[in-house]
Amino acid sequence: MANATYGIVQKPVVIPRLDVSGLLGTPFPFIRAYSSDLLSFNIHEKDFVAFLDNLSIAQAPPVPLQALDTASHVVGIVPHHWAMIAGTSMNMVAGIGTAATTRTQTSRFLETANREYFAPRGLKVSTYKERQLAERLHYDLNMPPLAPLGSSSLPQTVGHRRLQVLMPYIAPLSFNVSPPMEQRNALDRLAAKQIERRIRKKEQDSYSSDSSMSSVSSVSSISSTENFVSKPRAELNSRERRKADKAERKRQKKEEKRRRRERKRSRKQDRRDTKAHGQPDKSMEKDQKTVAKMEYIVVESLHALA
């Protein structure tokens, strides 16, 4: 497969991780996405997404191995046809799940994938830090680091919000991709399930944080529908009238208590809004620090690197 048979990528395919992790935390998987620009290089959605999934498995923590008490075994962790492309499995000794081990596995995986799959198509796939991406894309350094919460129907993770602001500089992406393929190796299946749970939790957390701001108003509207129903007082006897009066006083007291809570909540929200409007730079600074830790998978033309 000669490089000359393919063109060049007009804009690089850039895919971030779902979110940033702590210094010693397990890295989040890369967002499952595909660019139709890769079709002209004979890279189809199913194959490219499988590449992302297998890269995530290569970077998964060794928890499944520990759970199965396989500390003395060496386990291959690259399933699907990417293992055949590599020729040999990348192996991980159970119990040595260090950051250095993960970096080595990632480096070997990408090196072999480039040599056997991407390079023959005139492409190269790499991991980029934020600083490297800025140098590659030459994007406007004054643009917001993240899109506002709720500005799209996508999951509101840091990775998805970062993609929104990068869209003018990168190849178009589709997130409606094939589900993860069933892994052949039992340990790989456990790792894949662990990754799937982590993705689902992160996306659900991002949606719930975005919707929490509207919960106050919904509670208020539900409370306001409560009505006290009584018969005309003229038809009530003395005992029933006393019971009705008592119930009415109780309802009024409850309603007044609810109003006080609403006023208190409203004042608190006003203070938060005032503080947020008065300190926009702090919010921006926090987002910038988060984005500075972001990592990306970048697919670009070999010619673009010259």
pTM over 0.75: no
Q: What is the pLDDT along the chain (306 residues), one digit of tens a residue?
A: 544 467 888 999 999 999 988 766 778 899 999 999 999 999 999 999 999 988 887 777 654 444 444 333 333 333 445 545 443 334 433 334 455 667 778 888 899 999 999 999 999 999 999 999 999 999 988 899 999 988 888 888 999 999 999 999 999 999 999 887 655 554 455 555 665 666 666 666 665 655 554 444 444 444 444 444 444 555 557 777 778 788 888 888 888 888 888 888 888 887 777 666 656 577 888 999 999 999 999 999 987 654
Distance CA 75, CA 94 (A): 8
Q: What is the pLDDT of residue 118?
A: 94
Q: What is the pLDDT of residue 67?
A: 45
Q: What is the pLDDT of residue 74?
A: 31
Residues pairing with 227 in the sheet: none
Q: What is the pLDDT of residue 128?
A: 96
Q: What is the pLDDT of residue 202?
A: 62
Distance CA 46, CA 49 (A): 5
Domain coordinates in residue numbering, the chain: 8-212+290-305, 216-286
Q: What is the pLDDT of residue 305?
A: 55
Q: What is the pLDDT of residue 40?
A: 94
